[in-house]
Structure 1
Amino acid sequence: MVKKNDQLVVTIEDIGSEGEGIGKYEGYTLFIKNTVVGDKVLVKVMKAGKSYGYAKLLEVIEASPYRVILRCDKAEKCGGCQIMHIDYAKQLEYKENKVRNCLARIGGFENIPMEPILGMEKPYYYRNKSQFPVGKNKEGKVIIGFYAERTHSIIDTDHCYIGAEINMPIIRFMRSFIEKYNIEPYNETKHMGLLRHILIRVGYTTGEVMVCLVINGRDFPHKKELVEGLRKIPGITSICLNINTAKTNVILGEEVIKVWGETYITDYIGSIKYRISPLSFFQVNPLQTHRLYQIALDYAGLTGDEVVWDLYCGIGTISLFLAKKARKVYGVEIIPQAIDDARTNANINGIENVEFFVGAAEEVFPRKHNEENIKADVIVVDPPRKGCDQKLLDTIISIAPKKVVYVSCDPATLARDLKYLNANGYELKKVRAVDQFAHSSHVETVALMIKV
């Protein structure tokens, strides 16, 4: 019987949904982080249930051929890169299998029409948004970095291999600035101190860079020196403050104050231009997002005569993409600021065949359809990780569009929702996974359902 604190030798046979290795000891299943299929490892059991447990890697006895040397010495502690130790081609295979297995196991699909996963050409330095918590260590030294996985302990670092390269000089400058002017970092426990986070957003096409300081207060000292120092870094076009005085672990507050430049940057996905504020939701990997949306557009198969609904539309990223090929696009999103951004983005691009509504998709969509007789030839959904609301799926089934294009960030909820659509008159025609987040266990997927 396996028990806590046992030290065991196991061989890793599979990878779990969060990127952890799975091995067996005399039929007992163990989940072990930072391991790879093919590794022979010495582990210590940390938690033991009846049929499975969790263990900590102590030593790699024989390394898998798929194990690679970590570029980042923080990766095993930081929560951002769960599978950086796995060869990138093997990461893609894992993610494609993750989607396929969810569709088979949860969705009940057989002969799944999967197209090859779309990987990244350059799987490093791809994130256009990074949020660095600021604090002090036990010795009182300023620390800036990322939270350790499942904690609010800050791992001190100037360098992140998946963040934009411009982050490094910005964080180095901010570290010296905080120390020079004795800026007090925020203390979560005591709810004291000024500087909570440093938010950096980068326009990958435009080269524009935003530095937004999240503060527990209304003002920031030495703004003149702050601006002078940051402006020496190439690309800085926006320096602003975000006011968050609440005792919360939510990073951003509602109010943004301009310090210098604009309170937004601009960037492109394909040929569409977007205005991005500190509060805007914008995909963190614009190159792969372009490819993701192109797949969604291809799956929609628009001829120019369709009425399309984009549900959970955010700031209109997919809506504006679809509008190039549709007669009319309607976007629905529950967050008012996102709809404001969507309308601004439509105006910036001179796109007139789109209309945006604020509200819950499951309420706005059927109301507009029933009261104003607005039809739907194609419905695109891009829901949060929890998937589509049951009421929304029922509405889609009752309105019966010819096509449903489902963009998903969670294969499990995707499989659940596709199963429901499949049981109610829709056939799964195409599926393709897209790697938006290299070195993490997350995967995006696009699926096409056709009314039969």
Structure 2
Amino acid sequence: MKKNDVVTVEVTDIGIGGEGIGKVDGYTLFIKDAVIGDTVEVKVMKAKKNYGYARLMRIVKESAFRVSARCPEARRCGGCQIQEMDYRKQLEFKNTKVRNNLIRLGSVEEELLDQIMEPIAGMEEPFRYRNKAQFPIGVDKEGNLIAGFYAGRTHQIIPVPNRDCVLGVPENKVILDQILDYMREEKISAYDEERHKGLVRHVLVRYGFTTKEIMVCLIINGDKLPCSEKLLEKLTKIPGMTSITYNINKEKTNVIMGSKVCPLWGQTYITDYIGNVKYQISPLSFYQVNPVQTEVLYGTALEYAGLTGKETVWDVYCGIGTISLFLAQKAQKVYGVEIVPQAIEDAKHNAEINEITNAEFFVGKAEEVLPEYYADYAKEHPGEHARADVIVVDPPRKGCERSVLDTMVQMEPERIVYVSCDSATLARDVKYLRENGYEIRKVKATDMFPMSVHVETVVLLSQLKQK
């Protein structure tokens, strides 16, 4: 196969970026915008030795799983890689992805997964689920202000049709309309990434699904927001508006938020709930973007933890304490570990507002805090191990550090609950834990991000050694 070849191929799988995968005489092609089951004519754009990338020219035969995208910009925008795939097929694809990674990368036997893998948790309504949106602000070729999302793998802004993304809440459109009106009326410039000029870089919106509270934060390339009273006149009329701030980011960087948040009106946070637990969320807080499925995900983690009220639990990579506080409702004691100091402050505050007194939080790298705690405990209690009945981990995409896994094994918890946003690194870590005294008992995928290729998974591992 070489560049510019035109071939017909049947799509049989989906890649990690949402591209269709098909083979021609054993040669693998990755094809953007193709759906499992499509037969497509494609043009090879880049040819490697064993695989290549091709452009979809036309659909020869539509897949039975192909549907019309609800958003007209779904193909260009980088947010919805598989919106043109039937939702039931999306769920099947994600469940299979988790299963195959556990088999191929985790060396988990198929027969075992047949017994322990639960059905994936999907959504009844897989749209309008995001409680957070970050819109880059720019101008089009005619110089008109636009708000949207970046096209896949680029920093070209694709305007949101009618400023209403179908994954976000309808309130986003009202907010963007008012902010762009304000910018036009007061001649406030949009940020130009190439020239590092202009003021407004992004607009962040958070929405409390339970409380209906709304936060707006403008990220600016400057020290203040001119004529801010004009903006407040517009935004404070929106029902539910609770917090209006701006965030200063004058760096030439792809990182969206700077570290300094300045209040303009109202509080500097909104509140929302996961189950019965209340959380205060600031512009800089990490908080799961799909509250409906977050409750499902955490409910699974809590079920797998098997708490009776007598257990000591460690929550590693705890963030603002979202899982920790969920677990604390049924544990005797919960310890949370997180590297970001502000997140730990948020965690402590969230424990306080929920009157949860059995949760304690540590700042630091998990791979340093756990070994240090383990060593200190051994010194203070000769001949004893630091006690952990259950350890819960919710690591970043790269998975757990080896030192964390080592310390977890040394602490000998009866159960490990692994919450993962990347089933490949999950499988790698599961393999290590299985080689070091643990066995996988339950697996459940949860669709936190419908219309995208991402999937969250909860795994229960239990200790093989009898105490």
For the superposition of Structure 1 and Structure 2, which TM-score range results when normalised by the shorter chain? over 0.9
Aligned to 1:56: 55
Whichever residue aligns with residue 206 of structure 1, its letter is T
Write out aligned runs for 1:34-433 (5 A): 34-110=33-109, 111=111, 112=113, 113-157=116-160, 158-372=163-377, 374-433=386-445
Deviation at 1:413, TM superposition (A): 0.1
Counterpart secondary structure, 2:120: strand
Aligned counterparts of 1:254 and 1:36: Cα–Cα separation in 2: 41
1:438 aligns with 2:450: yes
**Percent identity over the alignment?**
59
Aligned counterparts of 1:368 and 1:398: Cα–Cα separation in 2: 12
Counterpart secondary structure, 1:253: coil
Aligned counterparts of 2:361 and 2:149: Cα–Cα separation in 1: 36
Please give the per-residue CA displacement for 1:334-383, whole angstroms capped at 9, x wherever unaligned.
Answer: 00000000001000100000000000111111222331354111000000
8 Å contact from structure 1 (residues 310, 381) kept in 2: yes
Deviation at 1:27, TM superposition (A): 2.0
Deviation at 1:240, TM superposition (A): 0.5
Whichever residue aligns with residue 169 of structure 1, its letter is V
Question: TM-score scaled to structure 1, two decimals?
Answer: 0.98
Deviation at 1:398, TM superposition (A): 1.5
Aligned counterparts of 2:296 and 2:36: Cα–Cα separation in 1: 29
Deviation at 1:252, TM superposition (A): 0.4
Aligned counterparts of 2:230 and 2:397: Cα–Cα separation in 1: 42
Between 1:20-29 and 1:96-105, the stretch displaced more is 20-29
Name the Cα RMSD after superposition: 0.9
Whichever residue aligns with residue 316 of structure 2, its letter is L
Aligned counterparts of 1:372 and 1:12: Cα–Cα separation in 2: 56
Counterpart secondary structure, 1:42: strand
Between 1:152-161 and 1:365-374, the stretch displaced more is 365-374
Aligned counterparts of 1:77 and 1:71: Cα–Cα separation in 2: 13
8 Å contact from structure 1 (residues 126, 285) kept in 2: yes
Aligned counterparts of 1:321 and 1:434: Cα–Cα separation in 2: 17
Deviation at 1:189, TM superposition (A): 1.3
Aligned to 1:25: 24
8 Å contact from structure 1 (residues 408, 446) kept in 2: yes
Deviation at 1:269, TM superposition (A): 0.4
Deviation at 1:139, TM superposition (A): 2.1
Whichever residue aligns with residue 136 of structure 1, its letter is V
8 Å contact from structure 1 (residues 17, 98) kept in 2: no
Between 1:144-153 and 1:379-388, the stretch displaced more is 144-153
Aligned counterparts of 1:287 and 1:78: Cα–Cα separation in 2: 24
Between 1:198-207 and 1:107-116, the stretch displaced more is 107-116
Deviation at 1:307, TM superposition (A): 0.3
Whichever residue aligns with residue 246 of structure 2, its letter is L
Counterpart secondary structure, 2:409: helix
Deviation at 1:234, TM superposition (A): 1.6
Aligned counterparts of 1:179 and 1:43: Cα–Cα separation in 2: 43
Whichever residue aligns with residue 163 of structure 1, its letter is G
Counterpart secondary structure, 2:118: strand
Please give the per-residue CA displacement for 1:181-204, whole angstroms capped at 9, x wherever unaligned.
Answer: 110111111111111100000001
Aligned counterparts of 2:374 and 2:50: Cα–Cα separation in 1: 50
Between 1:364-373 and 1:287-296, the stretch displaced more is 364-373
Aligned counterparts of 1:326 and 1:14: Cα–Cα separation in 2: 42
Aligned counterparts of 1:160 and 1:401: Cα–Cα separation in 2: 44
Whichever residue aligns with residue 404 of structure 1, its letter is I
Please give the per-residue CA displacement for 1:257-305, whole angstroms capped at 9, x wherever unaligned.
Answer: 1101111000000010000000000000011001100000000101110
Please give the per-residue CA displacement for 1:86-130, whole angstroms capped at 9, x wherever unaligned.
Answer: 000000000000000000000011121210000011100110110
Aligned counterparts of 2:17 and 2:156: Cα–Cα separation in 1: 21
The number of equivalent residue pairs is 451
Q: Which runs of 5+ in 2 are unaligned?
A: 379-385
Aligned to 2:381: none
Aligned counterparts of 1:57 and 1:35: Cα–Cα separation in 2: 7
Deviation at 1:33, TM superposition (A): 1.5
Please give the per-residue CA displacement for 1:408-437, whole angstroms capped at 9, x wherever unaligned.
Answer: 000000000000000111000000000000
Deviation at 1:397, TM superposition (A): 1.2
Aligned counterparts of 1:403 and 1:337: Cα–Cα separation in 2: 29
Q: Which runs of 5+ in 1 are unaligned?
A: none
Question: TM-score scaled to structure 2, two decimals?
Answer: 0.95
Whichever residue aligns with residue 157 of structure 2, its letter is I
Aligned to 1:9: 8
Aligned counterparts of 1:212 and 1:432: Cα–Cα separation in 2: 35
Aligned counterparts of 2:118 and 2:437: Cα–Cα separation in 1: 23
Moved over 6 A (4+): none
Between 1:51-60 and 1:198-207, the stretch displaced more is 51-60
Whichever residue aligns with residue 133 of structure 2, its letter is S
Counterpart secondary structure, 1:384: coil
Deviation at 1:137, TM superposition (A): 2.2
Deviation at 1:19, TM superposition (A): 2.3
Between 1:333-342 and 1:27-36, the stretch displaced more is 27-36
Whichever residue aligns with residue 300 of structure 2, its letter is I
Whichever residue aligns with residue 457 of structure 2, its letter is T
Aligned counterparts of 2:155 and 2:348: Cα–Cα separation in 1: 36
